[in-house]
Structure 1
């Protein structure tokens, strides 16, 4: 009975660790592995906090942490697999502004600076701006994007100030730009990054260097 009582609790973190390991070793997101790893980790933590062996608590926390880290790695890898394209800063800026000025242009789009210091834009594919990692020359990509947002959006200046304050707290954000129904003016607000939230740390300008 003592052997069974020891073996059953020991199997719980092993099941969680097995699922977490499958996430690390396989490509892509595995929903069943995530669910199993989090479920067994939760069981281990719950038992460790109640009547189970005390070692179940740190074991469950460790497997839950490994699962979360694997998820972040999958998201970061997927983001960095986008092609890296060096663009002429003036030409790329003009392309963005012309796409937004066109009456048949997009109603909204997202833009942000990734942890590698490149700019990605979502929602302008039809206007000829693919979801690549764009590197606009050797200057600061964050300053560059802030300048475009400030020029395009009516509330760009205050949103850029809010963006900079969050960056100083190491909370990366995306710019969500929308065209108003009346007047077709552009406004902007911030949206949280889903997944890998670390901002670019090695900006060439002192304003954005972390």
Structure 2
């Protein structure tokens, strides 16, 4: 038996159109089939991003892009779900956007030539410095599970397989490790990013906010 609605989203607006600059006339006329929460149905992309900007969280997420890692798009999508302040791509400017499912349109995505450049940007932010913490199971890494994570932090992920580059390790203020109990030495980079971001949410987010989406 099929599960869920036959189509995602909603059809054309029924009745008199609502008034307000945030409504998108094309969506009102043709329907809104985007993967957005109900609160943003029929809103323009620009209006959604502006509203998100009023309440973004204080954490950032970054990923090294030396081998055109396919995980980057998934990291961007998760950063949107947890409302990261910014997403940073380090290394190659081009990255595979398929996994982002167009969520990069709602996110601030910045490019940096290398990790020292990222660290310099984070440490000079006008609202105060943001610590750069790598996510890698390295000797001396602080257990992510020990919490809490810093409120103003950027989680840096390395490439799938090799993990953080040597330059990234040197540029980080500290590193976090994620506890594992099986036989493999590492977990997927996008999964590690999701765990790190959710750790921040558990420690610092307003979970009672009526705008928190739970399905």
Q: Shorter-chain TM-score category?
A: under 0.3
The TM-score with structure 1 as length reference comes to 0.27
Larger relative contact order, structure 1 or 2 (CA cutoff 8 Å, min sep 6): 2
TM-score of the superposition, structure 2-length normalised?
0.26
From the CA coordinates, give the structure whose radius of gyration is larger. 1
